[in-house]
Structure 1
Amino acid sequence: MVKKYSNPYFIAAIAVIGGGLFGFDISSMSAIIATESYKCYFDQSIDGTCMGPRPSVQGGIVASMAGGSWAASLFSGFLSDAIGRRRAVMLATIIWVIGCIITSASQNIPMLIVGRVLNGFCVGICSAQVPVYISEIAQPSKRGRLTGLQQWAITWGILIMFYISYGCSFLSGTKAFRIPWALQMIPAIVLFIGMIFLPESPRWLALRGRWQECERVLILTHGHGDEYSPWVGRELQEIHEWVETENGSWRSGYYELLTPKYLNRTHIGLFTQIWSQLTGVNVMMYYITFVFRSAGVDSSHLLLSSSIQYIINVVMTIPALIWIDRIGRRPALLVGSTLMAAFMFANAGIFAVYGEDAGPDGVDGTREASFVVKGNASKAVIACSYLFVASFAPTWGPVSWIYPPELYPNHLRGKAVALATSGNWVFNFALGWFVPPAFVDIQWRVYLVFASFCVAMTVHVFFLFPETAGRPLEETNQMFSDHEKGIKYLGTPAWRTKNYYSRSVRMEHGEDLAK
């Protein structure tokens, strides 16, 4: 029998490599689409001037990954319920390797899109099921921190692949993009091997009636090997009670999420992921080179200037990993959306007042950079772009992965998070396609669109998103249940719900809360 590792940080560190794959894809495109090698090889200009794919086609190339992710994220709910969270992730890595082979060998745009769709299948499965796996295996007081590692892995994937792509951009010919796309296989292989040594989700095992294995995993991960740990006993009892209540209902389909009993939390989980895309973070990640072209950054400094925001993204995610369980989900979401709205409005205002039309060919042949600012206004746009990322990184970035798995009962969690994540990928797909032509057609007004979304999400979160930090997963479900003893969740306004971090820490140390 293969040895299973029990350290929750090690388990999460391996599992979130799946998030790192998404990060690899983001920067492998954002760094490469501005290079001459890419634009000349996939050129669609009539006169052969190496202007690259048309804006709408470029949007389709980027969006194809999100399209595959959307389909796979929905399917992943059935997949992980059938074969387990761990095996679902392992299957996804195999798909990723196949996609990377096709992408790196692409001879034309259709072949490139096929490879990216396959990569999307992997990312869709991992993005939906890795947070489920970690949330089901983590202790309540560490659940936010460990699930938030998903976002940190994404930021590291973006940063590492960006510099790999930046280094390869100095190579001649197609090696400039084929090598980075091929190197993306390495983390997937590491993830596959690492998952062999991780335990299965105890809650998935319990739903399958494999109670001895479930208890062993809880002893391993929550009791540090102590089978008499009071926390293990309490956790096992709560899981047992909920499984008896659910009584095999894990076989239910997505339709149950749309019934009156679950519709409220379904809408909350779905909008958590949708809003995370409508913040405008796609503009600052996939298309940052277009933004900085519009800010007057020349070709020699473009990739280097863009990389600074990826460093900010990595560093600013760390505060969330340290304090997200203490601070709670609601404060992070509210502060993040407010700040992002301010910086988006600021960019729109700067372009509106100081911007100039760059003409049909854009800045230096980049048609998407159709509006340009110079001098101090340019510096202000770059600063606001950096500050936007610094606001997203510790708030909506990690919390959009942490929050949805905490909302649902055990039997629906896999499918519910898959549905919520599918919302992420639908809007990722739409925005990936929308942004390049939008930069050409409505120019700086793109920033106004996303700023308005940030205002809307602030209002939505304040009134309808309850706090879930610190609660065991079964207790969070009880908070939502209409049959909770004495108090209904619908009678408790979201802004009055509490963070139970301190209580969960005491429970994990075996303290009697009745004292």
Structure 2
Amino acid sequence: MHKTPTGTWLPAWVPESSFTLSFLLIICSIVQSTTGGYDGSMLNGLNILPSYTDYFKLNSATTGLNTASVFIGGFLGPIFSGIMADKLGRRPAIFWGSLITIVGIVLQTAAQNIAMFVVARIVLGFGSAVSGIAGGVYLSETFASRWRAWGVGLLNDFYYIGALIAAGITLGTGEWQSTWAWRAPTLFQAIFSVLCILILPFIPESPRWLVNQGHFEAARLAVAQTNANGDLNDQVVLTVYKEIVDTLKWEKEEQRTMTPIQIAKDPIARKRLLIGMSAGPFSAIAGNIIASYYLGAELDTAGITNSTDQLKANVVLNVWSLACCLVGTFGCAVWGRKSTALVSQSLLIACLFIIGGLSKLYADNPDGASSSLIYGNVAVMFLFQGFYSVAWTPLLYLYPPEVMNYSIRANGLAFSSFMLNAAAIVLVFVMPIGLNNIGWKMYMVNGGWDIITLVLIAVFWVETKGKTLEEIDAIFVGHKHSDVPDVEAVRRGKVVLDVPVVEKELEAEVVAMKTE
């Protein structure tokens, strides 16, 4: 371990090995995503448990309110998260978000009525949004480009680990004859935020944030620690660092740190923001909210009505989804982000229409429905959730920060999360009412708007695979803002860097930026 300057009040003792550090960064990703996954699966389980529904005397509207209230906090959190990540530093923003999440979980566990439960979930959602957005920006800026797809993809992939843990816990506590049948699962949710806080002192601050704040030596060291076991003179380290310095110097000279109004007026910034933020609402409206929060109601439409069978299905569904999102992360890394999204979205649309059709057949004659119809419908529901997991689970935090440049990255990812939660507030509240009132037709409606999403992805999304964050600029402006070769070309030995020349250029640039 080496004490590493961070430019913030939160110190760091970073391991020398880049492999070990990458592992710690992945752990940081994992504990961020497990909180959200745990929450969704936990509510899925609680909505099936009589001890929970009877305690709060829930109906369709209050069930939707209890569940959707976390998205109210998730709706408010992004308003502050981008500012916090830019001003305080990426790691301190993660710390405060995690701490707020713990407070919300404690209040949720102690809830005595619907009002207290809703307020607690608002606090929980706020904290999760702050730490999740800061974590997404931090990891995209800190991971070496060759590992970014896996490292940042896992930020949301392990949603299903949290979901699986919650499904198992609610299944285990479901037979308890007390309110602890639902309180215990809510309390266990705090474990992941605690682990996140414990890991923060052993990972460095974002090198992009450090350069922007004028901590150049600390930034170069962070790049070296994540790319070359701390070797400051490694050619890849020098290339990455030079790209960062050149690009942020250009952004400052061109006054690219924009207000929301300036972003709206600038065509390139506007395009980057709209493409990047689209992943949030696209993932929210895809249709997985039904399976993520109202699996019991969804299985009811298919003919699986026993609560124990539904809880078991919840466990199996999360194992399946985890396997699929890992395949999807591999796809994002190897096939590309846009290609993976197009294939996944096409399969989602097909599944929704099939589920709608099979659910109609069951609704028309529930007493005479065959077991093959029932289990066939459940199988397609599982396929749907798997296809969702292939693309949207890894892309939700991977794609937005790649598309957005540094000046709008934190606030842009916050805006993506803001729009996701705005859509989710409506959909999580509306879905149980829709399923109750129009049943199978809800799937058809969902499939219709998913077709629009598919067209928008095909027309407007860009491919970011295999590029550093600075090299992605060339997709939008025609060239990158640094004269060094691309990082992958240096890494693979296709280009040899002229180290003395680059060092002199860097020295001059750093002096100029410090005096500005």
- Normalised by the length of structure 1, the TM-score is 0.88
Mapped partners of 2:89, 2:416: distance in 1: 19
Contact 1:351 1:372 in 2 (8 A): no
Aligned pair count reads 476
Counterpart residue number, 1:402: 398
Give the SS at the match of 1:3: strand
Matched, 1:282 2:278: no
Matched, 1:257 2:263: yes
Contact 2:160 2:318 in 1 (8 A): yes
Matched, 1:30 2:36: no
**Residue 15 (structure 1) shift:** 3.4
Mapped partners of 1:104, 1:122: distance in 2: 16
Q: Identify which of 168, 181, 190 aligns with 1:185.
A: 190
Q: Decide whether aligned partners of structure 1 residues 323 and 300 sit closer, same or farther in structure 2, where only a CA change above 3 A counts.
A: closer
Give the SS at the match of 1:393: helix
Counterpart residue number, 1:339: 347
Counterpart residue number, 1:3: 13
Matched, 1:356 2:364: yes
Q: How does 1:98-497 map to 2 (within 5 A)?
A: 98-247=103-252, 249=255, 252-259=258-265, 260-297=267-304, 298-356=306-364, 375-481=371-477
**Residue 39 (structure 1) shift:** 1.4
Q: Decide whether aligned partners of structure 1 residues 391 and 63 sit closer, same or farther in structure 2, where only a CA change above 3 A counts.
A: same
Counterpart residue number, 1:97: 102
Q: Decide whether aligned partners of structure 1 residues 34 and 448 sit closer, same or farther in structure 2, where only a CA change above 3 A counts.
A: same
Give the SS at the match of 1:473: coil
Contact 1:67 1:425 in 2 (8 A): yes
Contact 2:24 2:199 in 1 (8 A): no
Mapped partners of 1:311, 1:10: distance in 2: 24
Q: Decide whether aligned partners of structure 1 residues 416 and 372 sit closer, same or farther in structure 2, where only a CA change above 3 A counts.
A: farther
**Residue 312 (structure 1) shift:** 0.4
Contact 1:254 1:416 in 2 (8 A): no
**Residue 251 (structure 1) shift:** 5.5
Q: Decide whether aligned partners of structure 1 residues 357 and 130 sit closer, same or farther in structure 2, where only a CA change above 3 A counts.
A: farther
Contact 1:230 1:510 in 2 (8 A): no
Matched, 1:17 2:35: no
**Partner amino acid for 2:97?**
A
Deviations 1:365-400 (A, max 9, x none): xxxxxx996522111110001101111112122112
Contact 2:333 2:465 in 1 (8 A): yes
**Residue 199 (structure 1) shift:** 0.6
Mapped partners of 1:411, 1:168: distance in 2: 47
Mapped partners of 1:265, 1:349: distance in 2: 38
Deviations 1:444-488 (A, max 9, x none): 111012111221111111111111111111111232126779xxx
Give the SS at the match of 1:242: helix
Q: Decide whether aligned partners of structure 1 residues 348 and 136 sit closer, same or farther in structure 2, where only a CA change above 3 A counts.
A: same
- Normalised by the length of structure 2, the TM-score is 0.88
Counterpart residue number, 2:505: none
**Residue 505 (structure 1) shift:** 4.1
Contact 1:343 1:388 in 2 (8 A): yes
Give the SS at the match of 1:192: helix
Mapped partners of 2:79, 2:477: distance in 1: 25
Q: Decide whether aligned partners of structure 1 residues 62 and 12 sit closer, same or farther in structure 2, where only a CA change above 3 A counts.
A: same
| Gap runs ≥5 in structure 2 | 4-11, 498-516
Give the SS at the match of 2:278: helix
Deviations 1:223-272 (A, max 9, x none): 22212111111111111111111228576433333222311121112222
Deviations 1:86-140 (A, max 9, x none): 1101101111111111100000000000110011011211332212111101122
Contact 1:19 1:123 in 2 (8 A): no
Choose between structure 1 and 2: higher helix proportion.
2
**Residue 185 (structure 1) shift:** 1.2
| Gap runs ≥5 in structure 1 | 44-52, 359-370, 486-502
**Partner amino acid for 1:169?**
G
Q: Decide whether aligned partners of structure 1 residues 17 and 180 sit closer, same or farther in structure 2, where only a CA change above 3 A counts.
A: same
Identity of aligned residues (%): 24
Counterpart residue number, 1:74: 79
Mapped partners of 1:374, 1:428: distance in 2: 34
Instruction: Pick which of 110-119 and 227-236 moved more.
Output: 227-236
Instruction: Pick which of 420-429 and 297-306 moved more.
Output: 297-306
Q: How does 1:59-70 map to 2 (within 5 A)?
A: 59-70=64-75
**Partner amino acid for 1:35?**
L
Mapped partners of 1:220, 1:510: distance in 2: 20
Mapped partners of 2:270, 2:244: distance in 1: 23
C-alpha root-mean-square deviation of aligned residues, in Å? Answer: 2.0
Q: Decide whether aligned partners of structure 1 residues 242 and 28 sit closer, same or farther in structure 2, where only a CA change above 3 A counts.
A: same
